[in-house]
Amino acid sequence: MTDYPIALWSFNLSRAPASVAAFAAQIEEGMQRAAGEGAKLLMLPEYLVECCLAFKPEGLLPDQEMAFLADVGTDLLAILAPLPARYGVSLLAGSMPVQAPAGFTNTAVLLTADGREIRQDKLCLTPFEQDPEIWHLVPGADLKTFELDGLKMAILICLDVEMPALSSLLAKLDLDLLLVPSMTEKLSGYHRVFGCAKARAVELMCAVAVCGLVGTSKGTTQNDTNVSGAALYLPCEEEFGFTGVAAEVAATSGSNGEEPFLVVSVPLNELRDLKSGKAEVWPGAWTADHVSVSAA
């Protein structure tokens, strides 16, 4: 495979579905579009399932939302499960709360066209996610890599891509593509996530795809605004036009119905050639093991 086409959908939460089935039908529309444009993978954002607060039970308290959305997520995945095989497009169905022994995790779920389900928990939680009076999530502890369509991939959810310690772990693993579903309230959060995603492309000599939610869920109690865009970042090399930006849709609040949908191809062979020693200055999976820190 020389190029790997992917679709990035910055879903607008204002779609306000009336049921899980209606929400799944909206997602299927995106699957149809991705397939029609030749994509092999469709990625949706972090906390996509918050859209379903539009039909939450009356009187549901903020600290009960995770349990409700976890149940919704279970029902949603059952409906979505056949779609990847039907359309020949793997689906990263955003992230959702999942019941774990210690509490709820924020978990990205990838449904592959070859019938697998791959899950990745968020590893570094925001203060908001840890607030016991609101969502009160627990972090994951396992960073997975996986093969899909001949590419080696991993998923880092939103804040996780801002953590250099996780990038250091991934540097040894020879990734082709890093997937970053996100949810950011403000333009500042968008720039943190997308800026760090671009840095990871340089550090790991791989492609990094990122998209986030826009708009506002009808039933939200916590996230009055969501600002994001969609982008595929590559190493800053001459072969890719120097800037490291393969394609990018600018940030939007989605307040006027905007909903970025980007289809772009990962230049797989060129990435692997650069990684094999043809990059301008990339030192490989470099560590600072020989470096000590001292006060001058």
Domain encompassing residue 67: 4-278
Q: How high is the pLDDT of residue 188?
A: 98
Positive/negative CA dihedral, 115, 98, 217, 233: negative
Q: Distance of alpha carbon 116 from its chain centroid, rounded? A: 18
Q: How many domains does the chain have?
A: 1
The CATH number of whichever domain residue 107 belongs to comes to 3.60.110.10
In this prediction, residues 103-110 reach a mean pLDDT of 97
Q: How high is the pLDDT of residue 196?
A: 98
Q: How high is the pLDDT of residue 133?
A: 79
Given a cut of 80, is residue 194 above it in pLDDT?
yes
At 222, the amino acid letter reads Q
Is 292 inside any structural domain? no
Q: How high is the pLDDT of residue 163?
A: 97
Given a cut of 90, is residue 51 above it in pLDDT?
yes
Nearest one of 231, 65, 198 to 133, comparing CA atoms: 65
CA count, 13 A, side-chain hemisphere, 84: 22
- Rounded Cα distance between 212 and 22, Å, is 21
Given a cut of 90, is residue 285 above it in pLDDT?
no
CA count, 13 A, side-chain hemisphere, 116: 9
Is 296 inside any structural domain? no
Burial of residue 245 (CB within 10 Å: 0-12, 13-18, 19+) is middle
Instruction: Report residue 104's pLDDT band, with 50, 70 and 90 as the boundaries.
Output: very high
In this prediction, residues 86-93 reach a mean pLDDT of 98
Is 18 inside any structural domain? yes
Give me the chain's average pLDDT, please: 96
In this prediction, residues 258-264 reach a mean pLDDT of 97
Is 293 inside any structural domain? no
Is 286 inside any structural domain? no
Is 219 inside any structural domain? yes
The per-residue pLDDT for range 130-180, each reduced to its tens digit, is 888 788 899 999 999 999 999 999 999 999 999 999 999 999 999 999 999
In this prediction, residues 260-280 reach a mean pLDDT of 96
Given a cut of 90, is residue 268 above it in pLDDT?
yes
In this prediction, residues 245-259 reach a mean pLDDT of 97
Is 294 inside any structural domain? no
Nearest one of 108, 137, 129 to 41, comparing CA atoms: 108
In this prediction, residues 8-33 reach a mean pLDDT of 97
Is 289 inside any structural domain? no
